Amino acid sequence: MTQALYDYPSYSPGFGLANGHVQSIVPSLFRQVSVPFERSRLELADGDFLLLDTLRQSTPSAPWVVLSHGLEGSSRRPYMQGMARAFYAAGWQVLAWNFRGCGGELNRLPRFYHSGAIADLKAVMMELLNNQQAEKIFLTGFSMGGNQTVLALAEADLPTEVIGGVGFSVPLDLASCAARLAQPTQRLYMQRFLRDLKVKIVAKSERFPDQVSSANFDDIKDFRAFDDRYTGPLHGFTDAQDYWTQCSSKHALPYLRRPTLIVNAADDPFLGSNCFDCHLGVRSNRLFMEIPISGGHVGFVRWKLNSELWSEKRALVFANYLLERT
């Protein structure tokens, strides 16, 4: 069983796919995976809500996997649908949750979501424990959702039912990732993020004109400017630097409570250099870090785009290994 941790075959891209940009863009645009999620609404203590998408097995005691998406993603993204399909086919129950304001419906409050907003992830886990009687839970996160997953796995009050987790393309150091995405070579990605975020900022400025303004939004060119103006003030941080410092999951690595696998591809165009050091801080013996030479950002595809991905197989092997151990 130790093969699940140490000797699982590393990702190998197909011919013509050994490029971080290709890996990041091709599956996002062309992969087509769909699963029959059932949607529900989780009301939160602060008056807001989350949209949850689930796949339930006929056996109520089957283990659960909780899927957390990336920045401006949702449960409908191909990487979420593909991971849900893989776990469900293997007998797991699936809960794919949407960050506040994601999933097709604007949330109620001026705030929305950020890389360290693990209170919402905790609320999702408590929903499974209290209302679904979950006996085993495995966390899986992508990009920003991976950062949240790692943070949650280091929490002192982590429920005993959580057996571990995996994060793919995890921005362990938010400041270095923001600097990377501010480079001219990453302009395409930055423009897409800002385009999507603008839609929400405009909607919030119309609903909460005294707290959110969309004036001169187009002057924003990078995450430092966006987080200085919006993420920081709306979520209780002084500015972008304060937000990045407090919410970077690299600080959680010494304190992991359960086995945690982090998979960051060396050619990921979103991640800064500080996201590849498995010895950040004092490394926990519960940390397992893999750095494939290719895979891009939440990529790990071969030419059969709609088939099960290496990342989906990797997550499932790790989850099943932990399930057997417990």
The answer on pLDDT for 120 being more than 60 is: yes
The answer on pLDDT for 290 being more than 90 is: yes
Q: Please tell me the predicted confidence (pLDDT) of residue 8.
A: 84
What's this model's pTM, rounded to 2 decimal places?
0.95
Q: Please tell me the predicted confidence (pLDDT) of residue 5.
A: 55
Of the given ranges (100-114, 237-251, 283-297), which has the lowest mean pLDDT?
A: 283-297
pLDDT band at 280 (very low <50, low <70, confident <90, very high): low
Cα 126 from chain centroid (whole Å): 19
Q: Please tell me the predicted confidence (pLDDT) of residue 1.
A: 42
pLDDT band at 2 (very low <50, low <70, confident <90, very high): very low
Residue range 75-85: mean pLDDT, rounded: 97
pLDDT band at 110 (very low <50, low <70, confident <90, very high): very high
Q: How many helices (H) and strands (E) does the chain have?
A: 10, 8
Of the given ranges (213-227, 245-259, 271-285), which has the lowest mean pLDDT?
A: 271-285
Task: Supply the DSSP string of 15-75, one letter for each residue.
Answer: TT---HHHHHHHHHHH-------EEEEEE-TTS-EEEEEEE--SSTTS-EEEEE--TT--T
The answer on pLDDT for 291 being more than 60 is: yes
The answer on pLDDT for 83 being more than 70 is: yes
The answer on pLDDT for 277 being more than 80 is: no
Q: Please tell me the predicted confidence (pLDDT) of residue 12.
A: 86
Q: Kindly state the percentage of the chain with pLDDT values over 70.
A: 96
The mean pLDDT of the chain is 94
- Name all contacts of 224-229 with Cβ < 8 Å and 24+ positions apart: 224/178, 224/182, 226/194, 226/197, 227/178
Structure confidence by residue, pLDDT tens digits, 169-223: 999 999 999 999 999 999 999 999 999 999 999 999 999 999 999 999 999 999 9
